[in-house]
Amino acid sequence: MDFETLKNDFLLADGASAKIRFATKNWVIWATLFTLTEDVAVVYYVDASKNRDDVQKYGFSFEEKADLAAFVNRKTGRIILPNYHFRNILDGVPEEVETDFTTLTREAARKILETAEKMVEADPIPPLSLSYANSVEREAQYRYIDGGRRKEAQFDELCSEMPADILLDCFCEAPGWEEKAAAEWLAAPVRYSERTNRDDMLWKKSYEIAVNSRIKSYEMDENCVEHIRKDVMDAIRKMNAKNVSVEFLCADGSVSNTKIEGRAFSSYDSGASVSMLSLWRISPESERRWVAQAVGNEHSDMPFSSILRISYKGKTLWKKK
């Protein structure tokens, strides 16, 4: 049977039978549709191989158990076919048909978070402890220099722990389900903590304000090392440069140069501080040791202030002013 026939004559058809039996070249299939709400139903199916000796007469086997075949919203026309075997039995299943609950889960989590954010919008934002200063700095550098994305721990946790009832509420588009789910989630405790999700969401708002403030300061100061590293990384990405030439000032006042992998200029490759360029992306090891000795640093780091020029295939990507 082809997908369109199954969809129009069985899954979405008004007044259609709740049961269907059809056969393909190799299989006999029984499918039963169970109504969950006025618009939403689930389909379970049993199949039996025609090649087995004991199913030739009736096309039935006591060995088979029913499996989930489909979720159907007859109002919106949305169909999810989570069973690989059932999909393969059908002909012409469009690529856009959902084959698992990933999209639905992420959709439900996103709606819950967006609703929760509106619920805490008027709540006072707690001050951020100074103990998070280093974390804020590193996160701001990561986002600004490397174009890193904000971590969404709450979203990921929601996705990993999504109850079936909430998934079905989202699929059914039950009125008010987002508000109910968001209120319950906000009141629930954070895993391994005494804080609630509401407390955690407000703390994250405070953290984001601090991170964005640091990013703004980098943008405003063209001479800060973060701004320079971003300019260098942007140029490296634009040229797709795997290795670049670095002209640098030695400890004895002479000028020398070496080659290093372009990714060495990212924030996550900077080690303890973005003011230092890690030399571990230089090879061979003998060259790396020589450069470390030349700049007077035994820890395989080069002060960013020692860099005079960065080039790729003779073209200057950045030059110290």
- Every domain of the chain and the residues it spans: 3-99, 104-220, 225-319
Average pLDDT score, the chain: 89
296-312 pLDDT, tens digit per residue, is 887 788 888 899 999 99
Q: What is the mean pLDDT of residues 94-102?
A: 94
Residue 56 pLDDT:
58
pLDDT of residue 244: 94
Residue 214 has pLDDT above 80, yes or no: yes
Confidence of residue 42 (pLDDT cuts 50, 70, 90): very high
CA distance 137 to 82: 43
Looking at residue 114, what is its pLDDT?
A: 96
More confident residue, 115 or 27: 115
Looking at the predicted structure, is the pLDDT value of residue 58 above 70? no
Mean pLDDT of 55-79: 81
Of residues 175 and 271, more confidence is placed in 175
Position 37 pLDDT exceeds 70: yes
Percent of residues, the chain, with pLDDT higher than 90: 62
The residues, ordered by sequence, that sit 6+ positions from 46 with a Cβ below 8 Å of its Cβ are 29, 30, 64, 65, 66, 67
Tell me which amino acid residue 166 is.
I
Say if residue 53's pLDDT is above 90.
Answer: no
Which pLDDT score, from 0 to 100, does residue 266 have? 86
pLDDT at residue 270, as a whole number:
67
* Sequence-ordered list of residues with C-beta below 8 angstroms from that of 104, at least 6 positions apart, any chain: 80, 98, 167, 170, 171
Q: What is the mean pLDDT of residues 135-141?
A: 93
pLDDT of residue 51: 65
Of 22-31, 56-65, 94-103, where does mean pLDDT reach its minimum?
56-65
